[in-house]
Amino acid sequence: MAPNSGLELFVAHDDPSSTCAVAHTISLSFAQDPLIRWIRPNAPLWAIDQPDTNRWQYRRVQRAILEGTVLRSASATQLAQQHPPKRQQANPSHFVGKGTGKDAIADAGIVALIFPPKQQQKWTLSRVLLALKLWVLDLIHPGTDKGADEKRVDMLLDAHDTAIDNIKSRYGIDDPWYLEVVAVHPSLQGRGLGRIAMSWILDYVGHHPFVLECTAKQNVGFYESLGFEVVEELELVDGDTVNCWVMLRQDVQKKDGTYL
């Protein structure tokens, strides 16, 4: 954990209010992400007053609970009180409540979707029941991101799979941990919470190989400061072009024998 930070991340379960809080924060945080905009070229920005987006994002979080681990913090409102901004935000209320009314109060402050190596995933009764639940839901009411360009989604998934295979063969890694999402609610930006959240996440993963995909070049240096290195740069071209930096963190031991 991140000592003396006053911030705690805990494992989220398949609870409607918690799942919704996580889904809302992902939608708000990544609405203008370059990769998401490329995948959804003709669609409006993700917003939490869009039923189809909410359903798809909610189902996505449920699937992450099934196949990996979802970490979340207390609500954005609570974290805002505990962690005042380090600098004055131009419009601190711009995101909180926009299109959501009272629901924004419950949005998670920080969320992460993490996937462990497959051999570490164990079938418990709750996991079996969730798998059956999602199977039924996918049959009767599939959750899809209707604004996504399917061709571009397939391009991204193929590039992701190829990059992971390359990492496994190049570095002799059997099956790394994978960070699909780490998101800080937009209303909390500028408070240093991203670094604190990553400290929690790295402590959770331990000294195991860990992969993420950075979708903004200006954030590469942040992850490098945490021990990640760029191992591949993806260029996805379909009329428009978007780049993505695949980053790997292996055991990073400091001179005093401790680890980053």
CATH number of this structure's domain 9-83+106-249: 3.40.630.30
d(CA 216, CA 231) in angstroms, rounded, equals 15
User: Measuring CA to CA, how many Å separate 229 from each of 37, 129, 156, 164, 223?
Assistant: 25, 38, 20, 14, 8
Mean pLDDT of the chain: 89
Q: What is 117-154 written as a DSSP string? A: -GGG----HHHHHHHHHHHHHHHHS----TTS-HHHHH
| Sign of the alpha-carbon dihedral angle for 188, 189, 192, 196 | positive
State which amino acid sits at residue 141. Answer: H
Contact 73, 125 (CB under 8 A): no
What is the predicted pLDDT for the residue at 118? 87
Residue range 139-154: mean pLDDT, rounded: 92
What is the predicted pLDDT for the residue at 102? 47
Residue ranges of the domains in the chain? 9-83+106-249
Write down the pTM of the prediction.
0.88
User: 233 or 103: which carries more pLDDT confidence?
Assistant: 233
Q: What is the pLDDT of residues 35-55, one digit of tens each?
A: 999 999 999 999 888 888 999
Contact 74, 179 (CB under 8 A): no
What is the predicted pLDDT for the residue at 49? 86
